[in-house]
Amino acid sequence: MSELLAVRGLNAWYGRAQVLFDIDLRVDAGEVVTLLGRNGAGKTTTLAAVMGLIPGVRGDVHFGGASISGLPPHRIARLGIGYVPEDRRVFSDLTVDENLAVGRQPPRPGAPSWTPQALFDLFPNLAELRRRRAGQMSGGEQQMLTIARTLMGHPSLVLLDEPSEGLAPRLVEQLARALGTMKAEGLTILVSEQNPRFARSLTDRAYVIEKGRTRFEGTLADLDARPDIRDACLAV
């Protein structure tokens, strides 16, 4: 498979405090890669740094073979990386339909393209809420809408930051199914999670980070064989 995202030697600071130390990771086209780690491990900082949202970084990020280090977030988005942050970012005063319209971009060659109808098939609960203002939806529904709106930009890679956090079990299942469809459509996915059980069946490879350092890279079956890593680095 061809390399779509490559992060090499990523270091990040908030002020003087260094929080990422030489993180290396890669995501090949079509893969689902899970970034695992406890609270404060550095998952959000890693994804935000890829997206150009962290000012204090050093290191190298390549997307589709070209360096995106130092580019502003909107340029990175336009190159085809969709980002769903851990706090839901909907336009509260707009309806579901209007939120989707805001996210629409021209189709991107080589990336799966999405219509509102395809997204309602993906997230059936949103279909019933099309005219609801997003501010009047549950946190879980807003999370689904944030993902759906991101897909309206036809990304080739999506970064999902702890998408299952705080979701009711029914929505976690719906989300896992949606990720399966997204993968089947050819979307490449980098997803952060605290729990390796989420999206387990979809995950091709995983990284475990602890205190800003990569502690493990491999399949989840490989991780099962490393209880030392699981006990030290994961909250399971």
Ligand X SMILES: Nc1ncnc2c1ncn2[C@@H]1O[C@H](COP(=O)(O)OP(=O)(O)OP(=O)(O)O)[C@@H](O)[C@H]1O
Q: Which residues are paired to 77 by β-bridges?
A: none
42 to 61: interface string for Mg ion, x by CB under 5 A: -xx-----------------
Measured from the CB atom, the residue of 99 and 146 that comes closer to Mg ion is: 146
At its nearest, how many Å lie between ligand X and the CB of residue 230?
16
Q: Which does 37 bind (CB under 5 to 8 A by kind): ligand X, Mg ion, none?
A: ligand X
> What token pair was written down for 3?
């390399």
Please choose, from the candidates 204, 149, 134, 139, the residue with its C-alpha nearest in 3D space to the C-alpha of residue 172.
Answer: 139
Q: Which does 40 bind (CB under 5 to 8 A by kind): Mg ion, ligand X, none?
A: ligand X
Cβ atoms of residues 192 and 162 within 8 Å: yes
Measured from the CB atom, the residue of 16 and 131 that comes closer to ligand X is: 16
Measured from the CB atom, the residue of 5 and 122 that comes closer to ligand X is: 5
For binding to ligand X (CB under 6 A), which residues are involved?
A: 14, 19, 37, 39-45, 86, 194
Measured from the CB atom, the residue of 58 and 104 that comes closer to ligand X is: 58
> What token pair was written down for 147?
């993902």
Measured from the CB atom, the residue of 21 and 91 that comes closer to ligand X is: 21
Instruction: Return d(Cα 134, Cα 123) in angstroms, integer.
Output: 15
Instruction: Return d(Cα 162, Cα 155) in angstroms, integer.
Output: 18
| Residues 6+ away with beta carbon under 8 Å from 225 | none
At its nearest, how many Å lie between Mg ion and the CB of residue 29?
25
Burial per residue of 90-99, b for 16 or more beta-carbon CB atoms within 10 angstroms, e otherwise: beeebbbeeb
At its nearest, how many Å lie between ligand X and the CB of residue 154?
27
At its nearest, how many Å lie between ligand X and the CB of residue 19?
4
